[in-house]
Structure 1
Amino acid sequence: MTEAVWTAKILKISSSLADRRAMGYELLKFPDGVIYCLHFIFEATNKERVTKSAFALDQAVRSDLDILKPHKTRFFKALCVIETDPVKRIFAKTLELISFSFLKGSFPLHKPEQELMVSTCFDWLIAPEKVAVKVFAMQCLYNLRNAQNWIIPELTAQLEQHFSEAGPAFQSRARHILKKLKN
């Protein structure tokens, strides 16, 4: 499938869950589409194409994270340039999924990839991001807590610092993580 054909398919989907899932399944059948999606997200020249590519990638990765393994380098390059809220939420969820798989030993990460995940998640946790991004980021940081010895005290400090002014979703996850960190 050519990039032009893939672009046409991507631009046809709506934000409905049914459309996103259908495109995610399409991506699972055509794994080379991951390259196109990550390219569109990285180049960021068309906001609609970026968002819809992220929608498709999100659904595919939730079904089979292994689809991302051959494209880790592209994924981490795209991570460095994302700007819109929906795409940040999708990438934050993907980082959470990657960190869970990394803990199980099924998604290997090099040290620079771990460091990028940690720094990005702390940036999102500290910045005025949407709550879903913060929740996924704090879970990812918890999962990668042993990657560097400063993560646990810094994560604890950030969660405690932001706890009182945060909403219920943030507080719920933070309470859960803080309890684990203190045990």
Structure 2
Amino acid sequence: MTEEKWAVKVLQISSRLSDRKALGQEISAEPELINYSLKFIQQGSEELATKAAYGLDIALRSDIKLLKPYLDPFLNALQKNQIETVSRIFSKICELLTSKFLKSEKLSKAEREQILSKCFDWLIGNEKIAVKVFAMQSIYNLSETESWIPGELKAQLELQFDASSAAFQSRAKSILKKLES
């Protein structure tokens, strides 16, 4: 499928789960569509970017390994993204990358650093709770790769704990407990 045809198809979907699933299944069947989707996310049209991210979300939740050939474009899009809905999806993809993906594939030091940098930005910044929760889990998943990570993560979680929502506190409590053991 050409990039133009994919853009037309992506723009035709709604945010309904059935539409997102159909788009995700198409990406799963034709993984090169990941590259087009990542391009759309970086091009700035919020509608196209958000809908492209919906498809990526479904496809990569099913099989995160589909992202491997497109990891560099994903990391570029990760750094440049400013769209709130896309941030939520990207934070979930980071969590998948740092858990399931790490068990079978190794991320390079540079790849880990890009993910850590963005996840700490999300955790420290004024983001929605879901983004922060996925970010803290991703950071924790990488905590054994660098000696400084556990201390920094613990400090951030403790700093934000009392002023945060129940969802934040629940995940933070779980991670803090793991960091203590």
TM over 0.5: yes
> Sequence identity, in percent?
50
Show CA shifts across 1:134-179 (max 9, x none): 0000000000002211110010010001000000000000000000
Per-residue deviation, 1:35: 0.9
- Which of 168, 171, 181 lines up with 2:169 in the alignment? 171
Show CA shifts across 1:47-92 (max 9, x none): 1100000000110000111111110010001001111111000000
Provide the secondary structure at the position in 1 that maps to 2:163. coil
The answer to whether the 8 A contact 2:87-2:131 is kept is: yes
Q: Tell me the TM-score normalized by structure 1.
A: 0.96
- Alignment partner, residue 61 of structure 1: 60
The answer to whether the 8 A contact 2:10-2:23 is kept is: yes
In structure 2, give the amino acid aligned to 1:27.
I
Unmatched runs of 5 consecutive residues or more in structure 1: none
The answer to whether the 8 A contact 1:125-1:137 is kept is: yes
Unmatched runs of 5 consecutive residues or more in structure 2: none
Q: Tell me the TM-score normalized by structure 2.
A: 0.97
1:85–1:146: structure 2 CA closer, same or farther, 3 Å change rule? same
In the alignment, does 2:42 pair up with 1:42? yes
Counterpart Cα distance in 1 of 2:116 and 2:180: 20
Per-residue deviation, 1:31: 1.1
User: Once superposed, what is the RMSD of the aligned Cα atoms?
Assistant: 0.9
Per-residue deviation, 1:102: 4.1
- Alignment partner, residue 26 of structure 1: 26
Per-residue deviation, 1:107: 2.8
- Alignment partner, residue 131 of structure 1: 129
In structure 2, give the amino acid aligned to 1:170.
F
Provide the secondary structure at the position in 2 that maps to 1:62. helix
